[in-house]
Chain A
Amino acid sequence: MSTDSFAMTAENVSVWFGERKVLEDVNLSFPARQVTALIGPSGCGKSTFLRTLNRMHELIPGAGLAGSIYLDGQDIYGEDVDAVSVRIKVGMVFQKPNPFPTMSIQDNVLSGLKLSGRKIDNAAEVVETSLRRASMWNEVKDRLGDQATSLSGGQQQRLCIARSLAMNPEILLMDEPCSALDPGSTRRIEETINELKDSMSIVIVTHNMQQAQRVSDLTAFFLADDNVPGGVVEFGSTQQVFHGPIDSRTNDYVNGHFG
Protein backbone atom coordinates (compact mmCIF):
# COMPACT_ATOMS: atom_id res chain seq x y z
CA MET A 1 0.00 0.00 0.00
CA SER A 2 1.32 3.43 -0.82
CA THR A 3 1.17 6.21 1.74
CA ASP A 4 -1.72 7.84 -0.16
CA SER A 5 -4.04 5.08 0.87
CA PHE A 6 -3.51 5.88 4.53
CA ALA A 7 -5.85 8.42 6.06
CA MET A 8 -3.62 8.88 9.06
CA THR A 9 -0.29 7.54 10.26
CA ALA A 10 1.10 7.60 13.78
CA GLU A 11 4.88 7.29 14.08
CA ASN A 12 6.70 6.56 17.34
CA VAL A 13 4.00 8.14 19.45
CA SER A 14 4.70 8.21 23.19
CA VAL A 15 2.41 9.86 25.70
CA TRP A 16 2.89 11.17 29.24
CA PHE A 17 0.64 12.40 31.99
CA GLY A 18 3.00 14.46 34.09
CA GLU A 19 5.97 12.19 34.90
CA ARG A 20 4.09 9.00 34.10
CA LYS A 21 4.56 7.51 30.66
CA VAL A 22 1.33 5.84 29.58
CA LEU A 23 2.08 4.94 25.95
CA GLU A 24 5.36 4.01 24.35
CA ASP A 25 6.34 4.03 20.72
CA VAL A 26 3.02 3.44 19.02
CA ASN A 27 3.20 3.01 15.24
CA LEU A 28 -0.12 2.64 13.48
CA SER A 29 -1.41 3.45 9.99
CA PHE A 30 -5.10 3.84 9.42
CA PRO A 31 -6.11 2.94 5.85
CA ALA A 32 -8.51 5.30 4.14
CA ARG A 33 -12.21 4.38 4.13
CA GLN A 34 -11.76 1.50 6.52
CA VAL A 35 -12.78 0.95 10.13
CA THR A 36 -9.97 0.35 12.59
CA ALA A 37 -10.82 -0.93 16.05
CA LEU A 38 -8.59 -0.29 19.07
CA ILE A 39 -9.07 -2.98 21.69
CA GLY A 40 -7.41 -3.83 24.98
CA PRO A 41 -8.04 -3.98 28.71
CA SER A 42 -8.90 -0.87 30.73
CA GLY A 43 -6.01 1.46 31.34
CA CYS A 44 -3.94 0.30 28.38
CA GLY A 45 -3.97 3.76 26.81
CA LYS A 46 -6.20 3.17 23.79
CA SER A 47 -8.57 6.05 24.58
CA THR A 48 -5.59 8.27 25.34
CA PHE A 49 -4.10 7.35 21.99
CA LEU A 50 -7.38 8.13 20.26
CA ARG A 51 -7.39 11.58 21.82
CA THR A 52 -3.91 12.31 20.46
CA LEU A 53 -5.30 11.86 16.92
CA ASN A 54 -7.39 15.06 17.06
CA ARG A 55 -5.27 16.93 19.58
CA MET A 56 -7.82 16.62 22.39
CA HIS A 57 -5.09 15.02 24.51
CA GLU A 58 -3.32 18.34 25.06
CA LEU A 59 -6.36 19.78 26.88
CA ILE A 60 -5.58 17.67 29.93
CA PRO A 61 -3.28 19.52 32.33
CA GLY A 62 0.15 17.88 32.47
CA ALA A 63 -0.22 16.05 29.17
CA GLY A 64 2.91 15.30 27.14
CA LEU A 65 3.61 13.73 23.75
CA ALA A 66 6.47 12.67 21.49
CA GLY A 67 6.40 11.39 17.92
CA SER A 68 4.46 12.41 14.85
CA ILE A 69 0.97 11.92 13.51
CA TYR A 70 0.52 12.52 9.80
CA LEU A 71 -2.73 13.66 8.25
CA ASP A 72 -2.66 14.51 4.53
CA GLY A 73 1.12 14.25 4.65
CA GLN A 74 1.39 16.89 7.37
CA ASP A 75 2.34 16.34 11.00
CA ILE A 76 -0.65 17.51 13.03
CA TYR A 77 1.73 18.38 15.87
CA GLY A 78 3.85 20.46 13.48
CA GLU A 79 4.89 23.91 14.58
CA ASP A 80 2.56 25.85 12.31
CA VAL A 81 -0.46 23.56 12.59
CA ASP A 82 -3.44 24.86 14.52
CA ALA A 83 -5.29 22.39 16.74
CA VAL A 84 -8.61 23.86 15.59
CA SER A 85 -7.90 23.04 11.92
CA VAL A 86 -7.03 19.46 12.89
CA ARG A 87 -10.26 19.01 14.86
CA ILE A 88 -12.30 20.26 11.93
CA LYS A 89 -10.91 17.44 9.76
CA VAL A 90 -10.94 14.79 12.49
CA GLY A 91 -14.31 14.46 14.19
CA MET A 92 -14.91 12.77 17.53
CA VAL A 93 -17.76 10.97 19.25
CA PHE A 94 -17.40 10.59 22.99
CA GLN A 95 -18.15 7.72 25.34
CA LYS A 96 -20.99 9.55 27.04
CA PRO A 97 -23.54 11.26 24.78
CA ASN A 98 -22.93 15.01 25.15
CA PRO A 99 -25.36 17.00 23.02
CA PHE A 100 -25.50 20.71 23.85
CA PRO A 101 -28.37 20.99 26.35
CA THR A 102 -29.25 24.60 25.56
CA MET A 103 -29.73 23.93 21.85
CA SER A 104 -32.50 22.30 19.84
CA ILE A 105 -31.92 19.12 17.84
CA GLN A 106 -31.46 21.15 14.68
CA ASP A 107 -29.06 23.61 16.32
CA ASN A 108 -27.03 20.71 17.68
CA VAL A 109 -26.53 19.35 14.17
CA LEU A 110 -25.46 22.77 12.95
CA SER A 111 -23.41 23.57 16.07
CA GLY A 112 -20.11 22.35 14.62
CA LEU A 113 -20.42 24.62 11.61
CA LYS A 114 -21.34 27.58 13.78
CA LEU A 115 -18.68 26.90 16.38
CA SER A 116 -15.94 26.56 13.77
CA GLY A 117 -17.10 29.82 12.24
CA ARG A 118 -18.24 28.54 8.85
CA LYS A 119 -21.05 30.06 6.88
CA ILE A 120 -24.14 27.90 6.53
CA ASP A 121 -25.97 28.42 3.24
CA ASN A 122 -28.25 25.41 3.21
CA ALA A 123 -29.04 24.74 6.86
CA ALA A 124 -32.12 22.60 6.21
CA GLU A 125 -30.24 20.41 3.77
CA VAL A 126 -27.24 19.94 6.07
CA VAL A 127 -29.56 19.00 8.93
CA GLU A 128 -31.47 16.45 6.88
CA THR A 129 -28.39 14.86 5.29
CA SER A 130 -26.52 14.60 8.57
CA LEU A 131 -29.47 13.15 10.46
CA ARG A 132 -30.12 10.70 7.62
CA ARG A 133 -26.51 9.55 7.65
CA ALA A 134 -26.79 8.98 11.40
CA SER A 135 -30.02 7.08 10.58
CA MET A 136 -32.28 9.12 12.84
CA TRP A 137 -33.97 11.50 10.39
CA ASN A 138 -37.30 9.70 10.47
CA GLU A 139 -37.42 9.69 14.26
CA VAL A 140 -36.84 13.41 14.72
CA LYS A 141 -37.90 15.13 11.48
CA ASP A 142 -41.10 16.42 13.09
CA ARG A 143 -39.44 17.69 16.25
CA LEU A 144 -36.25 19.38 15.08
CA GLY A 145 -36.98 22.32 17.36
CA ASP A 146 -37.16 20.23 20.53
CA GLN A 147 -34.40 20.37 23.11
CA ALA A 148 -31.69 17.79 22.45
CA THR A 149 -31.98 16.60 26.04
CA SER A 150 -35.53 15.37 25.36
CA LEU A 151 -34.07 12.49 23.30
CA SER A 152 -33.25 9.05 24.68
CA GLY A 153 -29.63 8.12 25.39
CA GLY A 154 -29.23 6.21 22.14
CA GLN A 155 -30.79 9.02 20.12
CA GLN A 156 -28.55 11.55 21.86
CA GLN A 157 -25.48 9.56 20.85
CA ARG A 158 -26.67 9.37 17.24
CA LEU A 159 -27.32 13.12 17.36
CA CYS A 160 -23.69 13.53 18.45
CA ILE A 161 -22.65 11.43 15.45
CA ALA A 162 -24.85 13.58 13.18
CA ARG A 163 -23.25 16.67 14.69
CA SER A 164 -19.80 15.36 13.74
CA LEU A 165 -20.98 14.30 10.27
CA ALA A 166 -22.29 17.79 9.50
CA MET A 167 -18.64 18.85 9.53
CA ASN A 168 -17.80 16.31 6.79
CA PRO A 169 -14.70 15.05 8.58
CA GLU A 170 -12.06 12.99 6.82
CA ILE A 171 -11.71 10.81 9.86
CA LEU A 172 -14.19 10.02 12.62
CA LEU A 173 -12.87 8.97 16.03
CA MET A 174 -15.25 7.08 18.30
CA ASP A 175 -14.40 6.52 21.95
CA GLU A 176 -16.50 3.54 23.11
CA PRO A 177 -19.58 5.14 21.54
CA CYS A 178 -21.92 2.32 22.59
CA SER A 179 -20.74 1.64 26.12
CA ALA A 180 -23.67 3.56 27.65
CA LEU A 181 -26.30 2.26 25.23
CA ASP A 182 -28.75 -0.63 24.97
CA PRO A 183 -28.34 -3.40 22.35
CA GLY A 184 -30.90 -1.83 19.97
CA SER A 185 -29.17 1.54 19.88
CA THR A 186 -25.81 -0.23 19.63
CA ARG A 187 -26.96 -2.13 16.56
CA ARG A 188 -28.16 1.04 14.84
CA ILE A 189 -24.88 2.81 15.51
CA GLU A 190 -22.99 -0.16 14.11
CA GLU A 191 -25.13 -0.01 10.97
CA THR A 192 -24.35 3.68 10.70
CA ILE A 193 -20.62 2.94 10.97
CA ASN A 194 -20.90 0.42 8.12
CA GLU A 195 -22.61 2.99 5.91
CA LEU A 196 -20.19 5.77 6.80
CA LYS A 197 -17.03 3.98 5.84
CA ASP A 198 -17.72 4.55 2.17
CA SER A 199 -17.01 8.21 2.72
CA MET A 200 -14.62 8.42 5.65
CA SER A 201 -12.13 6.56 7.78
CA ILE A 202 -13.20 5.53 11.23
CA VAL A 203 -11.16 4.70 14.32
CA ILE A 204 -13.21 3.16 17.12
CA VAL A 205 -12.19 2.27 20.65
CA THR A 206 -14.29 -0.55 22.04
CA HIS A 207 -14.39 -2.88 25.00
CA ASN A 208 -16.79 -5.15 23.21
CA MET A 209 -14.91 -7.73 21.18
CA GLN A 210 -17.98 -8.88 19.30
CA GLN A 211 -18.48 -5.29 18.25
CA ALA A 212 -14.89 -5.01 17.08
CA GLN A 213 -15.40 -8.11 14.92
CA ARG A 214 -18.71 -6.87 13.55
CA VAL A 215 -17.68 -3.38 12.51
CA SER A 216 -13.94 -3.24 11.93
CA ASP A 217 -11.67 -4.13 9.03
CA LEU A 218 -8.48 -3.81 11.08
CA THR A 219 -7.81 -4.26 14.76
CA ALA A 220 -5.01 -3.00 16.98
CA PHE A 221 -4.52 -4.67 20.34
CA PHE A 222 -3.16 -2.42 23.10
CA LEU A 223 -1.69 -3.71 26.34
CA ALA A 224 -0.07 -2.17 29.39
CA ASP A 225 1.50 -3.87 32.39
CA ASP A 226 1.95 -2.63 35.94
CA ASN A 227 4.42 0.25 35.79
CA VAL A 228 5.10 -0.40 32.11
CA PRO A 229 3.63 2.06 29.60
CA GLY A 230 1.09 0.72 27.14
CA GLY A 231 1.80 -0.11 23.53
CA VAL A 232 0.49 -1.95 20.50
CA VAL A 233 0.99 -5.69 20.81
CA GLU A 234 -0.56 -6.65 17.53
CA PHE A 235 -2.03 -4.84 14.54
CA GLY A 236 -3.56 -6.49 11.52
CA SER A 237 -6.79 -7.39 9.82
CA THR A 238 -9.60 -8.07 12.23
CA GLN A 239 -9.91 -11.57 10.83
CA GLN A 240 -6.28 -12.30 11.64
CA VAL A 241 -6.23 -10.66 15.10
CA PHE A 242 -9.25 -12.59 16.27
CA HIS A 243 -8.75 -15.92 14.54
CA GLY A 244 -5.05 -16.31 14.02
CA PRO A 245 -3.19 -13.94 16.33
CA ILE A 246 0.58 -14.12 16.20
CA ASP A 247 1.18 -12.98 19.78
CA SER A 248 0.07 -15.32 22.55
CA ARG A 249 -1.12 -12.34 24.68
CA THR A 250 -3.49 -11.29 21.90
CA ASN A 251 -4.77 -14.83 21.74
CA ASP A 252 -5.40 -14.89 25.49
CA TYR A 253 -7.21 -11.55 25.39
CA VAL A 254 -9.50 -12.14 22.40
CA ASN A 255 -10.42 -15.53 23.82
CA GLY A 256 -11.32 -14.00 27.16
CA HIS A 257 -8.52 -15.44 29.27
CA PHE A 258 -7.92 -12.04 30.89
CA GLY A 259 -9.01 -8.42 30.70
Chain B
Amino acid sequence: MANFIQNQPWKRNSVSRRVQILLAIVVPLPLVSLVALLSGLDPTMTFITLFLPLQLFAAGLVGYLSYGKRGFGDAALLFITTFLSLFVLILLMSVLWSVVTEGFKALSPQFIYQNNKYVDQTTSLEFGGVGHAILGTLLLILMTTLAAVPLGFAMAIYLTQSQSKARNLVRTFTQAISGLPSVVSGLFILAIIEATGIGRSGLTGALALFPLMLPTVARVAEESLKLVPVDLRYAALALGSPNYRAFFRVILPAAKTGLLTAVLLGLARIVGETAPLLLTLNPSSATNLNPFDGGMMALPTYVYNYLASYYDTSQARAWGASLVLLILVAILFGTARIIGRQKSLKSKGKK
Protein backbone atom coordinates (compact mmCIF):
# COMPACT_ATOMS: atom_id res chain seq x y z
CA MET B 1 0.00 0.00 0.00
CA ALA B 2 2.76 2.42 0.91
CA ASN B 3 4.57 1.70 -2.35
CA PHE B 4 1.35 2.07 -4.21
CA ILE B 5 0.85 5.58 -2.80
CA GLN B 6 4.47 6.50 -3.52
CA ASN B 7 3.90 5.84 -7.17
CA GLN B 8 0.83 8.04 -7.19
CA PRO B 9 2.07 11.48 -6.19
CA TRP B 10 -1.37 13.00 -6.70
CA LYS B 11 -2.62 10.96 -3.76
CA ARG B 12 0.15 11.94 -1.34
CA ASN B 13 -1.00 13.68 1.83
CA SER B 14 1.28 15.11 4.50
CA VAL B 15 0.91 13.80 8.06
CA SER B 16 -0.58 17.04 9.33
CA ARG B 17 -3.20 17.07 6.59
CA ARG B 18 -4.11 13.46 7.28
CA VAL B 19 -4.58 14.36 10.95
CA GLN B 20 -6.83 17.26 9.95
CA ILE B 21 -8.97 15.00 7.77
CA LEU B 22 -9.20 12.40 10.54
CA LEU B 23 -10.23 15.03 13.09
CA ALA B 24 -12.87 16.45 10.77
CA ILE B 25 -14.36 13.00 10.32
CA VAL B 26 -14.19 11.83 13.93
CA VAL B 27 -14.75 14.88 16.14
CA PRO B 28 -18.27 16.18 15.25
CA LEU B 29 -20.21 13.04 16.23
CA PRO B 30 -19.03 12.67 19.87
CA LEU B 31 -19.14 16.43 20.28
CA VAL B 32 -22.77 16.66 19.19
CA SER B 33 -23.69 13.54 21.21
CA LEU B 34 -22.24 15.17 24.31
CA VAL B 35 -24.18 18.37 23.72
CA ALA B 36 -27.38 16.39 23.18
CA LEU B 37 -26.85 14.37 26.37
CA LEU B 38 -26.06 17.40 28.52
CA SER B 39 -28.83 19.62 27.21
CA GLY B 40 -31.40 16.82 26.87
CA LEU B 41 -32.39 17.88 23.33
CA ASP B 42 -34.34 15.59 21.01
CA PRO B 43 -31.72 13.33 19.27
CA THR B 44 -33.25 13.63 15.78
CA MET B 45 -33.46 17.41 16.02
CA THR B 46 -29.88 17.61 17.28
CA PHE B 47 -28.72 15.42 14.42
CA ILE B 48 -30.30 17.67 11.81
CA THR B 49 -29.69 21.09 13.38
CA LEU B 50 -26.26 20.54 14.93
CA PHE B 51 -24.45 17.50 13.60
CA LEU B 52 -24.98 17.99 9.85
CA PRO B 53 -23.96 21.69 9.79
CA LEU B 54 -21.01 20.98 12.08
CA GLN B 55 -19.81 18.06 9.95
CA LEU B 56 -20.24 20.17 6.83
CA PHE B 57 -18.29 23.00 8.45
CA ALA B 58 -15.49 20.67 9.55
CA ALA B 59 -15.15 19.18 6.08
CA GLY B 60 -15.20 22.62 4.50
CA LEU B 61 -12.60 23.93 6.95
CA VAL B 62 -10.14 21.14 6.20
CA GLY B 63 -10.70 21.68 2.49
CA TYR B 64 -10.13 25.40 2.92
CA LEU B 65 -6.91 24.88 4.91
CA SER B 66 -5.53 22.57 2.20
CA TYR B 67 -6.59 24.16 -1.08
CA GLY B 68 -8.26 27.48 -0.23
CA LYS B 69 -11.61 28.44 -1.64
CA ARG B 70 -11.70 25.63 -4.23
CA GLY B 71 -10.87 23.11 -1.50
CA PHE B 72 -13.82 24.36 0.55
CA GLY B 73 -16.29 23.74 -2.28
CA ASP B 74 -14.68 20.40 -3.05
CA ALA B 75 -14.91 19.14 0.54
CA ALA B 76 -18.43 20.49 1.04
CA LEU B 77 -19.65 18.69 -2.09
CA LEU B 78 -17.86 15.53 -1.04
CA PHE B 79 -19.63 15.67 2.31
CA ILE B 80 -23.05 16.32 0.78
CA THR B 81 -22.77 13.51 -1.79
CA THR B 82 -21.44 11.08 0.82
CA PHE B 83 -24.26 11.95 3.21
CA LEU B 84 -26.96 11.62 0.56
CA SER B 85 -25.63 8.31 -0.78
CA LEU B 86 -25.40 6.90 2.75
CA PHE B 87 -28.95 8.09 3.36
CA VAL B 88 -30.26 6.25 0.30
CA LEU B 89 -28.11 3.22 1.03
CA ILE B 90 -29.48 2.97 4.58
CA LEU B 91 -33.06 3.27 3.32
CA LEU B 92 -32.45 0.53 0.78
CA MET B 93 -30.67 -1.71 3.26
CA SER B 94 -33.40 -1.32 5.87
CA VAL B 95 -36.03 -2.40 3.34
CA LEU B 96 -33.87 -5.36 2.35
CA TRP B 97 -33.13 -6.14 5.99
CA SER B 98 -36.75 -6.21 7.09
CA VAL B 99 -37.73 -8.41 4.15
CA VAL B 100 -34.89 -10.83 4.89
CA THR B 101 -35.40 -11.02 8.68
CA GLU B 102 -39.19 -11.15 8.56
CA GLY B 103 -39.27 -13.42 5.55
CA PHE B 104 -36.78 -15.83 7.05
CA LYS B 105 -39.27 -16.78 9.78
CA ALA B 106 -41.59 -18.32 7.22
CA LEU B 107 -38.90 -19.78 4.99
CA SER B 108 -38.50 -23.56 4.92
CA PRO B 109 -38.22 -26.19 2.16
CA GLN B 110 -41.90 -26.97 2.42
CA PHE B 111 -42.72 -23.24 2.09
CA ILE B 112 -40.98 -23.24 -1.30
CA TYR B 113 -42.60 -26.29 -2.87
CA GLN B 114 -46.02 -26.74 -1.25
CA ASN B 115 -49.13 -24.88 -2.26
CA ASN B 116 -51.81 -23.34 -0.05
CA LYS B 117 -54.64 -25.68 -0.92
CA TYR B 118 -55.51 -26.67 2.66
CA VAL B 119 -54.36 -23.49 4.34
CA ASP B 120 -56.49 -20.81 5.93
CA GLN B 121 -55.48 -17.58 7.60
CA THR B 122 -54.51 -19.16 10.90
CA THR B 123 -52.86 -22.38 9.72
CA SER B 124 -49.45 -22.90 11.25
CA LEU B 125 -46.41 -22.05 9.11
CA GLU B 126 -45.41 -25.71 9.09
CA PHE B 127 -48.08 -26.31 6.45
CA GLY B 128 -48.49 -24.85 2.97
CA GLY B 129 -46.26 -22.56 0.98
CA VAL B 130 -45.73 -20.45 -2.10
CA GLY B 131 -44.92 -23.20 -4.60
CA HIS B 132 -48.01 -22.45 -6.65
CA ALA B 133 -47.20 -18.73 -6.65
CA ILE B 134 -43.61 -19.32 -7.78
CA LEU B 135 -44.83 -21.47 -10.66
CA GLY B 136 -47.56 -18.94 -11.42
CA THR B 137 -45.12 -16.03 -11.53
CA LEU B 138 -42.70 -17.99 -13.72
CA LEU B 139 -45.48 -18.98 -16.09
CA LEU B 140 -46.83 -15.42 -16.29
CA ILE B 141 -43.47 -13.80 -16.99
CA LEU B 142 -42.63 -16.56 -19.47
CA MET B 143 -45.81 -15.94 -21.44
CA THR B 144 -45.35 -12.17 -21.34
CA THR B 145 -41.68 -12.46 -22.32
CA LEU B 146 -42.42 -14.79 -25.23
CA ALA B 147 -44.78 -12.16 -26.63
CA ALA B 148 -43.05 -8.92 -25.63
CA VAL B 149 -39.40 -9.71 -26.42
CA PRO B 150 -39.80 -10.71 -30.09
CA LEU B 151 -42.18 -7.83 -30.73
CA GLY B 152 -40.04 -5.37 -28.76
CA PHE B 153 -36.93 -6.42 -30.68
CA ALA B 154 -38.83 -6.18 -33.94
CA MET B 155 -39.87 -2.63 -33.05
CA ALA B 156 -36.30 -1.71 -32.15
CA ILE B 157 -35.05 -3.17 -35.45
CA TYR B 158 -37.70 -1.25 -37.37
CA LEU B 159 -36.84 1.99 -35.55
CA THR B 160 -33.09 1.69 -36.11
CA GLN B 161 -32.69 -0.11 -39.43
CA SER B 162 -35.40 1.29 -41.66
CA GLN B 163 -35.74 4.74 -43.19
CA SER B 164 -39.51 4.65 -42.94
CA LYS B 165 -41.35 7.88 -42.21
CA ALA B 166 -43.68 6.19 -39.73
CA ARG B 167 -40.82 5.70 -37.28
CA ASN B 168 -41.52 8.87 -35.32
CA LEU B 169 -45.13 7.86 -34.89
CA VAL B 170 -44.11 4.44 -33.57
CA ARG B 171 -41.52 6.00 -31.28
CA THR B 172 -44.03 8.50 -29.86
CA PHE B 173 -46.57 5.77 -29.17
CA THR B 174 -43.94 3.58 -27.52
CA GLN B 175 -42.97 6.43 -25.24
CA ALA B 176 -46.62 7.10 -24.46
CA ILE B 177 -47.25 3.46 -23.54
CA SER B 178 -44.14 3.36 -21.37
CA GLY B 179 -45.76 5.97 -19.15
CA LEU B 180 -48.93 3.92 -18.79
CA PRO B 181 -49.83 3.28 -15.13
CA SER B 182 -49.92 -0.47 -14.61
CA VAL B 183 -53.41 -0.41 -13.12
CA VAL B 184 -54.72 1.15 -16.34
CA SER B 185 -53.24 -1.71 -18.30
CA GLY B 186 -55.11 -4.09 -15.97
CA LEU B 187 -58.34 -2.10 -16.39
CA PHE B 188 -57.99 -2.30 -20.15
CA ILE B 189 -57.78 -6.08 -20.09
CA LEU B 190 -60.56 -6.18 -17.49
CA ALA B 191 -62.76 -4.26 -19.93
CA ILE B 192 -61.96 -6.83 -22.61
CA ILE B 193 -62.79 -9.64 -20.19
CA GLU B 194 -66.13 -8.03 -19.36
CA ALA B 195 -66.94 -7.22 -22.97
CA THR B 196 -66.07 -10.56 -24.50
CA GLY B 197 -67.00 -12.82 -21.63
CA ILE B 198 -63.72 -14.75 -21.75
CA GLY B 199 -62.88 -15.99 -18.29
CA ARG B 200 -59.99 -14.76 -16.21
CA SER B 201 -56.96 -16.99 -16.57
CA GLY B 202 -53.17 -16.88 -16.65
CA LEU B 203 -53.47 -15.64 -20.21
CA THR B 204 -55.46 -12.54 -19.27
CA GLY B 205 -52.91 -11.84 -16.52
CA ALA B 206 -50.06 -12.08 -19.01
CA LEU B 207 -51.97 -9.85 -21.42
CA ALA B 208 -52.22 -7.18 -18.71
CA LEU B 209 -48.46 -7.37 -18.14
CA PHE B 210 -47.65 -7.23 -21.86
CA PRO B 211 -48.16 -3.46 -22.41
CA LEU B 212 -45.84 -2.81 -19.46
CA MET B 213 -42.98 -4.95 -20.73
CA LEU B 214 -43.15 -4.12 -24.43
CA PRO B 215 -42.12 -0.43 -24.38
CA THR B 216 -39.28 -1.09 -21.94
CA VAL B 217 -37.84 -3.85 -24.14
CA ALA B 218 -38.35 -1.85 -27.33
CA ARG B 219 -36.74 1.34 -26.05
CA VAL B 220 -33.72 -0.23 -24.40
CA ALA B 221 -33.17 -2.50 -27.42
CA GLU B 222 -33.44 0.52 -29.71
CA GLU B 223 -30.82 2.39 -27.71
CA SER B 224 -28.42 -0.56 -27.75
CA LEU B 225 -28.83 -1.07 -31.51
CA LYS B 226 -28.23 2.65 -32.04
CA LEU B 227 -24.87 2.31 -30.29
CA VAL B 228 -23.52 -0.03 -32.98
CA PRO B 229 -21.40 2.16 -35.29
CA VAL B 230 -22.91 2.68 -38.74
CA ASP B 231 -19.41 1.97 -40.14
CA LEU B 232 -19.90 -1.72 -39.37
CA ARG B 233 -23.12 -1.84 -41.34
CA TYR B 234 -21.46 -0.09 -44.28
CA ALA B 235 -18.50 -2.48 -44.07
CA ALA B 236 -20.83 -5.47 -44.26
CA LEU B 237 -22.89 -4.01 -47.11
CA ALA B 238 -19.73 -3.09 -49.06
CA LEU B 239 -18.74 -6.76 -48.90
CA GLY B 240 -21.88 -7.64 -50.80
CA SER B 241 -24.03 -8.57 -47.85
CA PRO B 242 -27.81 -8.32 -48.09
CA ASN B 243 -29.33 -6.05 -45.45
CA TYR B 244 -30.77 -8.86 -43.36
CA ARG B 245 -27.50 -10.76 -43.17
CA ALA B 246 -25.56 -7.61 -42.24
CA PHE B 247 -28.04 -7.18 -39.43
CA PHE B 248 -28.00 -10.74 -38.09
CA ARG B 249 -24.28 -11.43 -38.45
CA VAL B 250 -22.76 -8.03 -37.67
CA ILE B 251 -25.12 -5.61 -35.92
CA LEU B 252 -26.95 -8.08 -33.70
CA PRO B 253 -23.80 -9.70 -32.21
CA ALA B 254 -22.34 -6.26 -31.54
CA ALA B 255 -25.48 -5.23 -29.65
CA LYS B 256 -25.91 -8.52 -27.78
CA THR B 257 -25.17 -7.30 -24.24
CA GLY B 258 -27.51 -4.34 -24.66
CA LEU B 259 -30.29 -6.59 -25.92
CA LEU B 260 -29.87 -8.87 -22.91
CA THR B 261 -30.17 -5.80 -20.69
CA ALA B 262 -33.37 -4.89 -22.54
CA VAL B 263 -34.88 -8.28 -21.66
CA LEU B 264 -33.77 -8.01 -18.03
CA LEU B 265 -35.19 -4.50 -17.60
CA GLY B 266 -38.40 -5.71 -19.18
CA LEU B 267 -38.56 -8.59 -16.70
CA ALA B 268 -37.81 -6.25 -13.82
CA ARG B 269 -40.71 -4.09 -14.94
CA ILE B 270 -43.28 -6.89 -14.70
CA VAL B 271 -42.03 -9.42 -12.15
CA GLY B 272 -43.30 -7.45 -9.17
CA GLU B 273 -46.45 -6.02 -10.76
CA THR B 274 -49.51 -6.48 -8.55
CA ALA B 275 -52.30 -4.12 -9.61
CA PRO B 276 -52.92 -5.45 -13.15
CA LEU B 277 -52.92 -9.03 -11.86
CA LEU B 278 -55.45 -8.25 -9.12
CA LEU B 279 -57.85 -7.17 -11.84
CA THR B 280 -57.21 -9.86 -14.42
CA LEU B 281 -56.22 -12.97 -12.50
CA ASN B 282 -58.38 -15.01 -10.14
CA PRO B 283 -56.29 -15.89 -7.10
CA SER B 284 -55.94 -19.60 -6.45
CA SER B 285 -54.48 -21.55 -3.55
CA ALA B 286 -53.88 -24.61 -5.67
CA THR B 287 -51.19 -25.19 -8.26
CA ASN B 288 -52.50 -24.51 -11.75
CA LEU B 289 -50.23 -24.89 -14.75
CA ASN B 290 -52.93 -24.36 -17.35
CA PRO B 291 -52.59 -20.74 -18.48
CA PHE B 292 -55.87 -20.81 -20.40
CA ASP B 293 -58.22 -21.86 -17.67
CA GLY B 294 -58.74 -21.37 -13.96
CA GLY B 295 -57.23 -19.15 -11.32
CA MET B 296 -53.56 -18.69 -10.73
CA MET B 297 -51.41 -17.10 -8.08
CA ALA B 298 -48.37 -14.90 -8.60
CA LEU B 299 -45.94 -13.96 -5.83
CA PRO B 300 -46.97 -10.27 -5.72
CA THR B 301 -50.67 -11.13 -5.52
CA TYR B 302 -49.88 -13.72 -2.86
CA VAL B 303 -48.15 -11.02 -0.82
CA TYR B 304 -51.12 -8.73 -1.32
CA ASN B 305 -53.65 -11.35 -0.26
CA TYR B 306 -51.90 -12.32 2.97
CA LEU B 307 -50.58 -8.92 4.00
CA ALA B 308 -54.10 -7.60 4.45
CA SER B 309 -54.82 -10.24 7.09
CA TYR B 310 -54.73 -9.52 10.85
CA TYR B 311 -53.26 -12.91 11.70
CA ASP B 312 -49.55 -13.20 12.40
CA THR B 313 -49.10 -16.41 10.42
CA SER B 314 -50.66 -14.85 7.33
CA GLN B 315 -48.45 -11.81 7.61
CA ALA B 316 -45.44 -14.06 8.04
CA ARG B 317 -46.46 -15.83 4.82
CA ALA B 318 -46.57 -12.48 3.03
CA TRP B 319 -43.07 -11.61 4.24
CA GLY B 320 -41.85 -15.04 3.24
CA ALA B 321 -43.30 -14.65 -0.24
CA SER B 322 -41.62 -11.22 -0.57
CA LEU B 323 -38.28 -12.79 0.27
CA VAL B 324 -38.89 -15.59 -2.23
CA LEU B 325 -39.71 -12.97 -4.89
CA LEU B 326 -36.46 -11.14 -4.18
CA ILE B 327 -34.48 -14.38 -4.39
CA LEU B 328 -36.26 -15.36 -7.60
CA VAL B 329 -35.36 -12.02 -9.22
CA ALA B 330 -31.75 -12.41 -8.06
CA ILE B 331 -31.57 -15.91 -9.57
CA LEU B 332 -33.14 -14.80 -12.86
CA PHE B 333 -30.81 -11.83 -13.26
CA GLY B 334 -27.75 -13.71 -12.10
CA THR B 335 -28.33 -16.53 -14.57
CA ALA B 336 -28.95 -14.11 -17.43
CA ARG B 337 -25.74 -12.23 -16.68
CA ILE B 338 -23.71 -15.43 -16.47
CA ILE B 339 -25.14 -16.72 -19.76
CA GLY B 340 -24.37 -13.37 -21.41
CA ARG B 341 -20.81 -13.33 -20.12
CA GLN B 342 -20.07 -16.95 -21.04
CA LYS B 343 -21.12 -16.38 -24.62
CA SER B 344 -18.82 -13.41 -25.08
CA LEU B 345 -15.95 -15.31 -23.44
CA LYS B 346 -16.49 -18.21 -25.78
CA SER B 347 -16.31 -16.03 -28.88
CA LYS B 348 -13.17 -14.39 -27.52
CA GLY B 349 -11.32 -17.63 -26.93
CA LYS B 350 -12.45 -19.39 -30.09
CA LYS B 351 -9.60 -20.82 -32.15
Contacts and interface: CB of A to CB of B under 8 A. Distances in A.
B351 A112 contact: no
Interface string A104-131: 1000000110111100000000000000
A85 B240 contact: yes
B256 to A, nearest CB: 8
Interface string B204-245: 000000000000000000000000010110111111111001
Contacts of A1: none
Interface in B281-339: none
Contacts of B238: 54, 56, 87, 91-92, 94, 164
Contact of A94 (B231, B241, B347, B349): B231
A163 B236 CA distance: 10
A87 B235 contact: no
Interface stretch (A72-80, A95-103, A235-243): A95-103
B237 A56 contact: yes
B17 interface: no
Contacts, number: 78
A43 B291 CA distance: 63
Nearest to B256: A102
A61 B163 contact: yes
Given A114-B249, A115-B249, A167 B163 contact: no
B235 A117 contact: no
B232 A98 contact: yes
A190 B231 CA distance: 23
A164 B239 contact: yes
B241 A116 contact: yes
A116 B256 CA distance: 22
Contacts of A27: none
Given A115-B239, A163-B239, A167-B240, A98 B231 contact: yes
Contacts of B12: none
Contact of A84 (B235, B240, B253, B256): B240
A116 B239 contact: yes
B11 interface: no
Interface in A150-165: 160, 163-164
Given A59-B234, A91-B239, A164-B238, 19 more contacts: A54-B238, A56-B234, A56-B238, A84-B240, A84-B242, A87-B238, A94-B235, A98-B229, A100-B250, A101-B254, A102-B347, A104-B350, A111-B236, A111-B239, A111-B250, A112-B240, A115-B250, A116-B241, A164-B239
The 3 closest A-B pairs by CB, nearest first: A115-B241, A88-B240, A112-B239
Interface of B: 163, 229, 231-232, 234-242, 245-246, 249-250, 253-254, 256, 347-351
10 contacts: A61-B163, A88-B239, A94-B231, A101-B232, A102-B250, A102-B256, A115-B241, A116-B240, A116-B241, A164-B239
